[in-house]
Structure 1
Amino acid sequence: MKEEGKMCVNGKPNNPGLDQQLICSVGIIAACVIVLTLGFVFNANAALIDRGGGLIYDSDLDITWLKDASYAKTTGYDDDGRMDWYQANNWAQNLEYYDAVRDVTWDDWRLPYTPPDTTPGYSYAGEMGYLFSHYEIRSGLGSSPFINIQEWYYWSTEDPYNPGYYWYFSFNPYYHHGYQGTNRWQDAFVLWAVRDGDVAAPVPVPGAIWLLGSGLIGLAAFGGRRGKS
């Protein structure tokens, strides 16, 4: 017969289910803490991150930009960095950029993407539109952490609904700033290379979370052994 009011009887728990209930409760609380902590960590890092080596990572879109928005001009590939769409696309796809920080040559560059259902005007769609609207990137003084953003139109991807027409975007704060539209390939616009993913190693989950998880596993194992004794 269970003796009321006593925690233990003959050296054993008076309520054998108490350990399991406690472990379950602690587990639920810990799981919530882990989820909230992970959410805080990743949301707090959602930003433009300078990875060094002339590379800027957008953790929201998971893409990496060249820090120099006129790299073709800076390197002397083109006098003013303005080309027709085919020249610009060819330059981006064949770019081999040496990352001195990681001692890696990145060769998977492309032009910035614009969704096919974008409405011409000030809709801020696409990867350049996100830079403009979310991070308030502009040419001139509003370009940080980037450099050399020109006060002209930047080439983007082809409009699949209008073959032969290609999207462009303007960062110019004085003329058509934030405007995007389509034009024929022959126009001479600027190009800015971007690549998918991050150049840095994945960020490890904070050690405190692993310690908490290990502690819960140990607690569950201990409770299981006690329940069988």
Structure 2
Amino acid sequence: MKTTIKVKLKPLAKACFLPGLLGAMLTMPGQAGASLIERSIVVDSGENVSAYYDDVLDITWLKDANYAQTSGYNLGGKMTWSQAKSWTKDLTLGGYADWRLPQVQAINPGGLNYIVAFDGSSDYGYNSISVMHEMAYMFTVNLGLASAFNTDSTKNDDWVSYITGDEVNTSILGNEIEIDNLKSYKYWYGQDRSWTSGGSGGWAFNANNGYQFTEGKDAYNYAWVVHDGDIGEPVISEVPEPGSLALFGLAIFSLRVRNYVATSF
């Protein structure tokens, strides 16, 4: 019986995948383009926990974006910045410790930028596709979600189409990547910011509108935990996925056409 490792191509990767299909088929699985690779974290007592390994950021995301509630740690899942940091720091799952919140780092020299930009050119604002902004990268590149504003600062009328109640419905995106309990609300980053007036705030990302910003640490936001590196067990399916069979067939067809052309002249 044939087995395949499930690999989900990111929306931005699909656009450039087919033109290079033949070359991609000759490479290692998952190397054709950026992808989220399904993982299962084996738990001794209870159900295994689903996750995705991001082979660009080199981190593993829990598939459940509100695991604090699902696990029973927090009734609703919202926590202050300090509470979220403490929970992730103490979390052990499937024998894995050292979980953390997603991180935001400066995309330009000189430190984090607090000037709002709509084109992703700042650390603060909308439409970032930088690997330095892990939540924004997951939102925009991995999931293919849009923010409330276009890069030219005009309103994006389509951005609310994937909001269902208080959650982001990733099942309707058509990219085969589904996240459980992704709230259409704010999520904490692990980095903080010192206020010029004293005190400090925390970096956050608003999954409701794609806005990356800072706010007071006493605000109550959600926490989506990640782990450095590729952890968990590969997810194996007993039957090859139809999409994989179609791609393989197309690659064989392309190879035959290439050989025919080469031998006809």
Report the TM-score range of the alignment, normalised by the length of the smaller protein: 0.5 to 0.7
When the two chains are superposed, the root-mean-square deviation of aligned CA atoms in Å is 2.6
Deviation at 1:183, TM superposition (A): 0.5
More helix by share: 1
- Superimposed CA distance per residue, residues 26-72 of structure 1 (whole angstroms, 9 cap, x where no aligned partner): xxxxxxxxxx8899436315211111231210011100011110000
Write the mapping of 1:2-151 to structure 2, written as runs, cut at 5 A: 40-41=27-28, 43-44=31-32, 46-53=34-41, 54-98=50-94, 105-116=95-106, 117-118=112-113, 119-124=123-128, 125=130, 126-136=133-143, 139-142=167-170, 144-151=177-184
**Aligned mates of 1:130, 1:65 — CA distance in 2:** 12
Write the mapping of 1:148-227 to structure 2, written as runs, cut at 5 A: 148-160=181-193, 162=195, 164-172=200-208, 177-199=209-231
* TM-score for the superposition, normalised by structure 1: 0.61
**Aligned mates of 1:148, 1:122 — CA distance in 2:** 22
* TM-score for the superposition, normalised by structure 2: 0.53
User: After the TM superposition, which segments of 4 or more aligned residues of structure 1 sit over 6 Å from their partners?
Assistant: 36-39
Equivalent residue letter for 1:142: T
Equivalent residue pairs, number:
157
- Superimposed CA distance per residue, residues 142-171 of structure 1 (whole angstroms, 9 cap, x where no aligned partner): 263321101110000224564611111122
Q: Secondary structure at the match of 1:82?
A: coil
Q: Which structure has the higher relative contact order (CA within 8 Å, separation 6+)?
A: 2
Q: Which residue of 2 aligns with 1:212?
A: none
**Aligned mates of 2:73, 2:232 — CA distance in 1:** 27
C-alpha spacing 1:46/1:200, structure 2 compared with 1 (3 Å)? farther
**Aligned mates of 2:214, 2:26 — CA distance in 1:** 38
Identical aligned residues as a percent: 36
- Superimposed CA distance per residue, residues 68-105 of structure 1 (whole angstroms, 9 cap, x where no aligned partner): 1000011121111001000000000101112xxxxxx1
**Aligned mates of 2:93, 2:136 — CA distance in 1:** 24
Does structure 2 conserve the Cα–Cα contact (< 8 Å) formed by 1:158 and 1:166? yes
**Aligned mates of 1:160, 1:80 — CA distance in 2:** 26
Equivalent residue letter for 2:134: E
**Aligned mates of 2:98, 2:227 — CA distance in 1:** 6
**Aligned mates of 1:65, 1:91 — CA distance in 2:** 16
Equivalent residue letter for 2:170: G
Does structure 2 conserve the Cα–Cα contact (< 8 Å) formed by 1:50 and 1:145? no
**Aligned mates of 1:37, 1:191 — CA distance in 2:** 36
Structure number, greater radius of gyration: 1
Does structure 1 conserve the Cα–Cα contact (< 8 Å) formed by 2:39 and 2:233? no
